A = this chain, B = another copy of it.
Amino acid sequence: MSTAASPPGRPGRRPSTSRVELEKVAFRLFDRDGFDATTVDDIAKAAGIGRRTFFRYFDSKNDVVWGAFTDHLEYMRERFAARPEGEPVMESLRAVVVDFNRVDEGETDRHRRRLELILRVPALQAHSTLRYADWRAVVAEFAARRTGAHPGDLRPQAIAHAALGTALAAYEHWLGGQGSDLCAVLDTAFAELARGFEEESRCS
């Protein structure tokens, strides 16, 4: 039961489980009891490992929810770099963000529960800020490069924040509505963002 995917012929004892395995166990408990009511001890016990070991797989209980987010960020950075130089900023943004949120068919359910937790559980809302900051940094970096500014400057920062806000609003909409495609929602959301702000400062 506890034999993990034993990696190649490397010396030393083999891990007794894996991040994904732990994630599955944890999500099952989160579904059943809620995030707050599930203790790390519960997860460890359900996974058949020691509490201490859990913290070797994840830095914190919060981190379980985020899966391989950090790795994905690097991918997002690459996608930005791959966009044609002349493309309007907002359009690149739309393409990359939509692509960033595309998940395998089988994963879409997990993705939904993931977002549900992140957006609804206060402890995770708080924690998510730190992750969002990294996400925004990638966006700001891109926006800065395109507009010839520094990532810390006002415009890139505002763009990054607005992009994040748009994505979050789209997530909310997707979670609220019944089953429409997330990518489609994001796509229209970012299209509206570009149009929206264009009018914004002109009319009432």
Contacts and interface: CB of A to CB of B under 8 A. Distances in A.
Chief secondary structure at chain A's binding surface = helix
A165 B133 CA distance: 11
Contacts of A89: 200-201, 204
Interface stretch (A43-51, A63-71, A150-158): A150-158
Interface string A169-186: 110110000000000000
How many chain copies?
2
Given A165-B158, A166-B158, A169-B157, A195 B201 contact: yes
A6 interface: no
Interface residues of A, number: 47
Contacts of A189: 154
A158 to B, nearest CB: 5
